[in-house]
């Protein structure tokens, strides 16, 4: 029960010219069909070293200043540095053994060189956990202007069973490369890698990635593989990913796979046991089908569910979700389904419609948790939905009835939560309960119109709580927000 409790606690275009790049290889042409005038573009060359558990990174970023202001500095998150010391590692003390079953092992990124428009640039690594790369510009970057930032470095992967790390089966290569910080109405968002929640916030961008691995390894990643080239005993994979807010890779030399198609989307299940890859695939296919119907179509070519050395249960990244390989068993198939569905729902709430997961985590997690319940309703019927809702949401929330935090708003920043217990109770359970009650009061037609319109209007953007409220007000024809705010427990 302790393991299950822990798992559940933590679950949880307009037409523009086509621009062609021959960035890495002359015979592989990368094309950008998205609006290249507004999206940042990442070109990443990376080589995996299995002996030293490292990745050599050569990254070019075409950055466009869309801040509305001129800039003298720009900032990147370099999340691997959070794993450099036991003190900064993003785990609570009680989770350390499961995160590091073989003892603490350091992970980090060593920045070797930074240039801007081919000129060497001054930079500093700052932040309480040294996860911010601050680059000073020689001259002011005017609004609407763009620059090319070139960063070279070496990433050391820790022996850890968390989001970023490796163990016996997989290398979880997530939040691994320098990624631009978001500049919004509050300025640059330079938050640390918090120990709870999903402490990330990023803009939609386009990626072209070249990834070199030993020939017996295969990268399950964001985007689609468009080509590969043999280099003696290694393979070079060419990967494209448009309109995504991050780029993750789960790497292994032991994968077994099975695939299917749903609504012209290729869905693939990767795991290590033939017995369960079909079940995992079916859960993913059914999830895609349900959420396409309820919210709007998944706008990418592929979706992948991958078993990994990941003790926390499940984690979402664009086009790919990682699932704890230990849940792939007859004893835990119900849990496996729940987690896969939850992480798949994140492709709508986080992946396509983004949000500040640090300051407003409810906006993706509460919607995702309730979307998981909707899956059971649409697939199995009302009776099963009620049973799952009671077991996974109501009963768990009621366990906290003696805690003062259950009366608090679900709309809190990660820095204001004191524990995973409080975070889970409010953002997952209370959030789902509030949405269920909101649906009951306004009726199914209006409720699902709200979700569809919210998805449609905020696709490939970062939405705010105010955006969700505005959609509610529009559909419900209300003149003020108070009723919505009260019913959703967001104040």
CA separation (Å) from 83 to 11, 74, 86?
Answer: 21, 23, 7
- Residue 42 and residue 63 in contact, taking contact as beta carbons nearer than 8 Å: no
Catalytic one of 302, 304, 343, 360: 343
Q: Residue 94 annotated as binding?
A: no
Cβ count within 10 A of residue 154: 16
Q: Residue 342 annotated as binding?
A: yes
Let me know if 100 is a catalytic residue: no
163: its two tokens: 């989001």
Q: How far apart are CA 53 and CA 170, in angstroms?
A: 12
Let me know if 343 is a catalytic residue: yes
Q: How far apart are CA 31 and CA 240, in angstroms?
A: 9
Q: How far apart are CA 488 and CA 490, in angstroms?
A: 5
Catalytic one of 169, 300, 428, 454: 428
The count of residues in the chain is 491
Q: Residue 346 annotated as binding?
A: yes
- Residue 475 and residue 450 in contact, taking contact as beta carbons nearer than 8 Å: yes
**What letter would DSSP give residue 30?**
E
Q: What are phi and psi of 14, to 5 degrees?
A: -65, 155
H or E segment and range at residue 111: strand 108-116
Q: Which residues contact 20 (CB under 8 A, 6 or more apart)?
A: 29, 30, 31
Is the alpha carbon torsion for 394, 397, 399, 403 positive or negative? Answer: negative
183: its two tokens: 């500049």
Residues marked as binding for Zn(2+)? 342, 346, 365
> Which residues form the catalytic set?
343, 428
Residues marked as binding? 342, 346, 365
């Amino acid at each position: 029960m302790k393991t299950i409790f822990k798992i559940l606690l933590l679950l949880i275009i307009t037409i523009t010219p086509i621009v062609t790049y021959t960035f890495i290889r002359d015979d592989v042409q990368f094309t950008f069909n998205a609006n290249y005038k507004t999206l940042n573009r990442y070109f990443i060359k990376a080589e995996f070293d299995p002996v030293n558990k490292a990745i050599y990174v050569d990254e070019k970023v075409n950055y466009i200043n869309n801040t509305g202001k001129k800039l003298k500095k720009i900032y990147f998150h370099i999340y691997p540095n959070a794993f450099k010391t036991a003190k900064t590692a993003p785990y609570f003390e009680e989770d350390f053994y499961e995160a590091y079953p073989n003892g603490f092992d350091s992970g980090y990124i060593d920045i070797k060189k930074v240039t801007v428009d081919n000129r060497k640039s001054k930079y500093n690594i700052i932040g309480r956990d040294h996860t911010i790369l601050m680059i000073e510009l020689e001259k002011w970057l005017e609004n609407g202007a763009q620059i090319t930032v070139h960063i070279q470095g070496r990433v050391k992967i820790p022996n850890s069973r968390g989001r970023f790390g490796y163990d016996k089966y997989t290398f979880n290569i997530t939040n691994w490369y320098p990624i631009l910080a978001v500049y919004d109405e509050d300025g640059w968002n330079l938050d640390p890698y918090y120990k709870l929640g999903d402490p990330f916030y990023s803009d939609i961008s386009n990626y072209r990635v070249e990834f070199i691995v030993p020939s017996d390894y295969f990268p399950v990643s964001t985007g689609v593989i468009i080509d590969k080239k043999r280099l003696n005993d290694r393979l070079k994979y060419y990967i494209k990913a448009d309109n995504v807010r991050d780029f993750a890779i789960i790497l292994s030399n032991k994968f077994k796979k099975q695939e299917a198609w749903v609504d012209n989307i290729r869905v693939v299940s990767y795991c290590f046991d033939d017995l369960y890859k079909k079940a995992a695939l079916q859960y993913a296919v059914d999830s895609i089908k349900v959420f396409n119907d309820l919210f709007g179509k998944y706008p990418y070519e592929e979706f992948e569910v991958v078993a990994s050395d990941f003790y926390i249960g499940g984690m979402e990244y664009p086009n790919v979700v990682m699932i704890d390989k230990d849940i792939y068993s007859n004893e835990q198939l119900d849990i496996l389904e729940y987690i896969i569905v939850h992480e798949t729902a994140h492709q709508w709430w986080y992946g396509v419609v983004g949000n500040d997961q640090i300051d407003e985590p409810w906006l993706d997690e509460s919607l995702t948790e309730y979307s998981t319940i909707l899956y059971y309703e649409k697939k199995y019927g009302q009776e099963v939905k009620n049973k799952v809702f009671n077991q996974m949401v109501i009963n768990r929330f009621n366990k906290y009835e003696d805690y003062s935090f259950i009366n608090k708003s679900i709309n809190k920043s990660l820095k204001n939560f004191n524990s995973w217990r409080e975070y889970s109770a409010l953002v997952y359970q209370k959030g789902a309960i509030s949405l269920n009650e909101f649906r009951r009061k306004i009726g199914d037609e209006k409720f699902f119109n709200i979700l569809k319109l919210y998805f449609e209007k905020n696709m490939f953007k970062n939405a705010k709580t105010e955006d969700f409220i505005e959609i509610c007000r529009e559909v419900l024809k209300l003149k003020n927000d108070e009723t919505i705010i009260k019913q959703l427990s967001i104040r």
